[in-house]
Amino acid sequence: MNYLQMIFSFIWNNLTAFFGAVAAACFLACLVLLAAELLSYHSKKKQGGAVGDSGAGSQQGGAAGDSGILGQQEAAIDNPCGAKRQENVALDAGHRGRRMRIALVTGASSGMGREFARCIDRTEAEMDEIWLVARRRERLEEAASQLTHPARIIPMDLTKAENIEELENLLKPVRVGIFVNCAGYAKIGNYEKVSRFDSDHMIDLNCKAAVNMTLAVLPYMQAGDRILELCSTSSFQPVPHLNIYAAGKAFLYSYTRALRMELLPRGIVVTAVCPWWVADTEFLPIAKDNAANPDFEKSIRGFLLPSKKETVVRRALRASRMGFAVSTPGIMCFLHRLFSKLIPRTGMIYLWEIMRRLG
């Protein structure tokens, strides 16, 4: 027992000397939470219910935020929320001169975008229509067929300026009640393994298109409307072997936080959604699918405690409704955000290097 006390005293004294007593206590509390999460994860894995057992959803199309759909297919007719939505839409149709209020979701053909559309369909009764934007028409049609709200599909490539202008013209008669920007993707590998094309395209889609889409919808939003930008916990620090993607998400996170302050006078809520790894989408399969980097396992050997898209989306929409600036929908997201505030960036990079190599 004396040895344990000596070890604990040594660790505590060093932590308090480096961080301060309050920060050290938070650090230890977070370690306890992480240990509990790990135990829970391994317990579920033994029972055959591990997170990400679905094989990372590689069969369900798209880029990060443009990926698969959950196995549970709630029948909207049996859903009392669905019945309420239908009634509201019918009532709203009688108000001539009232602008139709829509939810607009990019990257909606699969993955996080598709899940956002499904969750909005279940929970946002005040929306008259849900507009789905992505490149793949067939996937959009499939996603639209599973919604109880009237849905409009808009197949387009958001990296092309003329498509943004076309979409902006479509928005003129409507009010955008919720805008969710999920379009984006990643490639795993260092500077040698990710092509210049992929580097440029990630910047165009993850950064430039996100800003262009946000600027396009803002003239059609009013007080009480909401924006959710899909960022990432990678936005909290530089991430070797995911450097372009992480840098792009850091840009989007910073942009989102600043935009929130600018839009406060208009009463528009802006939320940065920062998930950890999400296994049951196409994000990871697409990130790994790199012809120039067939040995991606040497880049990132494991994806610890991934989240499920349903959980991420449900918590993100709840955070948005509550007016939060940032949604960290899970224990790993929360810990990553906390440690990035307590530990210098160089230390965070080395911690990532250890995790990346050990898996």
CATH class assigned to 57-358: alpha beta
Give the tens place of pLDDT for each residue, 119-142: 999 999 899 999 999 999 999 999
Chain segment 184-232, per-residue pLDDT in tens: 888 888 888 888 999 999 999 999 999 999 999 999 999 999 999 999 9
- Assign 357 a pLDDT band (cuts: 50, 70, 90): confident
Nearest in space to 124 (alpha carbons), one of 143, 97, 106, 105:
105
State the average pLDDT over residues 261-275: 95
| CB distance 135 to 58 below 8 Å | no
The backbone torsions φ and ψ at residue 129, rounded to the nearest 5 degrees and listed phi first, read: -145, 160
Alpha-carbon span 93 to 218, nearest angstrom: 24
pTM, two decimals, is: 0.72
Which three-class secondary structure state does DSSP give residue 299? coil
Is residue 257 a contact partner of residue 337, using CB atoms and an 8 Å limit? Answer: no
How far, in whole angstroms, is CA 308 from its chain's centroid? 11
Which residue do the tokens 């850091």 mark? Answer: 250
| Residues assigned a catalytic role | 245
